[in-house]
Structure formats: C-alpha cells, structure tokens
C-alpha cells in the first residue's frame, strides 16, 4: 500500500456510531440521525442494521413486487423496502407493502401508517430469522395489519416457500391460512397467483 493511500485513509473522518438517548430512539429519529446505513430499522427503540443482501432475497422481492403490481386492483399500490411507523418505538421495514393509493403523501415520504397497510411481506434472511418469524409478525398483528406473508427458501429446490397469515381481529394475532410451494394462489386481500418457480428465471 502506498504512502499516499495511507495518508488518504488517515484523512478520512472516523465514523461515530449514534449514541441512543436513555429512553431509546423514537420512530421520528430515523429521519434525523445522520449517517445511518440504508434500510435501518427501529425495533423496541433500538437501531437494527441490515446485512448484505443475498441474490435469493433480491430475486424474491423482484418477483413479489412485480407480481403484486401486475395483479393489484387500481386503488392499491405496492412498494418495497419502506418503513411502517407502528408506534413511537417501532419502525420496521417490510420487504414488500401493499396499501391504498391515498396512503401516498408525496416523493419525500419515508414511512407509512400501520392502519394503511393491507399486506406486509418479509423475506427471511439468515440474520433476520428470529425477527421475521416472531418479532415482526407479532408487532404487525398488534398494530392491526390484516395480512402477512413470510417467505423462506426451500432447502431442496431453492425456490421461495410462502407462509400466508391472516389477522384474527378478536385476538390481534395471526393465523396460518396456507403454505405455498411452487405456486401461490389466494383470494385475499385480492386475487393473487404467483409462479414461485420463476424467482430466478432471468438468471437461467
């Protein structure tokens, strides 16, 4: 390594990790803390940083976003990787969201309200398994999000497996309504049919 390179590295400012207040961060803080990595979430007042994305995760999001956009009724919109302000201490970022068009407030919008979310989708990664299987579904259900999908990779074929949940409004908890391999077909929140084997079709 050259001396010039060493000098440039010495001149670079040292990154200072944000120090949380005694009561923890709030949902509004995510828009104000400088230098946060992309796709930082807030869970129970703590910042959660994302690991590098896998090809499976990226291809799943592309397949689901494109399929849902193509099949959603005209009054609904689909967005990927936008946060939901569940409460003062929780602002998770689902991989895919479905919501009514009127929930869009403009190009500078950074979050949605839970009461506007019709469907939240989480594609499970190695570092997010516990959050996606337990923590986030529990919080989405408590906030009244009516539909939730958890997507995992099939160990044999490498295709997505989609676990579909629907909210029981009496208990504010999710019930599993189906597990879909190869092809997903549901009638709520609207008629949806997705060929899950197409997840990496462009890569073949």
* Partners of residue 78 on adjacent β-strands: 98
pLDDT at 11: 63
Name the percent of the chain lying above pLDDT 70: 91
Backbone angles phi, psi at 19, to 5 degrees: -95, 120
Q: Is residue 148's pLDDT more than 70?
A: yes
Distance in angstroms (rounded) separating the CA atoms of residues 114 and 98? 11
pLDDT exceeds 70 at position 9:
no
Confidence of residue 204 (pLDDT cuts 50, 70, 90): very low
Question: CA-CA distance, 106 to 158, in Å (whole number)?
Answer: 38
Rg (alpha carbons) of the chain, rounded to whole number = 19
CA 27 to chain centre: 16
What confidence category does residue 24 fall into, taking pLDDT thresholds of 50, 70 and 90? confident
Tokens of 92: 């998770």
The answer to whether residue 14 scores a pLDDT higher than 80 is: no
What pLDDT, in 10s, does the model give residues 34-65? 888 889 999 999 999 988 899 999 999 999 99
Residue 151 CA to residue 91 CA, distance in Å, equals 20
Alpha helices in the chain (DSSP H): 3-11, 55-71, 129-130, 136-142
For residue 127, what pLDDT is reported? 86
């Amino acid at each position: 390594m050259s001396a010039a390179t060493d000098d440039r590295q010495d001149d670079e400012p040292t990154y200072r990790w944000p120090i949380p207040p005694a009561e923890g961060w709030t949902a509004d803080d995510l828009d104000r803390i400088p230098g946060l990595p992309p796709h930082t979430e807030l869970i129970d007042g703590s910042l959660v940083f994302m690991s590098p994305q896998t090809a499976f995760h990226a291809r799943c999001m592309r397949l689901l976003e494109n399929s849902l956009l193509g099949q959603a009724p005209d009054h609904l919109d689909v967005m990927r990787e936008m946060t939901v302000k569940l409460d003062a201490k929780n602002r998770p970022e689902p991989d895919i969201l479905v919501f009514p068009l009127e929930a869009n407030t403009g190009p500078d919008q950074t979050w949605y309200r839970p009461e506007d979310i019709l469907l939240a989708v989480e594609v499970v990664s190695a570092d997010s398994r516990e959050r996606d299987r337990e923590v986030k579904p529990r919080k989405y259900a408590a906030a009244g999000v009516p539909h939730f999908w958890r997507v995992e990779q099939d160990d044999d074929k490498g295709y997505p497996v989609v676990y579909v949940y629907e909210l029981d409004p009496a208990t504010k908890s999710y019930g599993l309504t189906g597990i879909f391999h190869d092809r997903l077909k549901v009638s709520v929140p609207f008629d949806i049919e997705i060929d899950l084997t197409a997840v990496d079709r462009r890569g073949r």
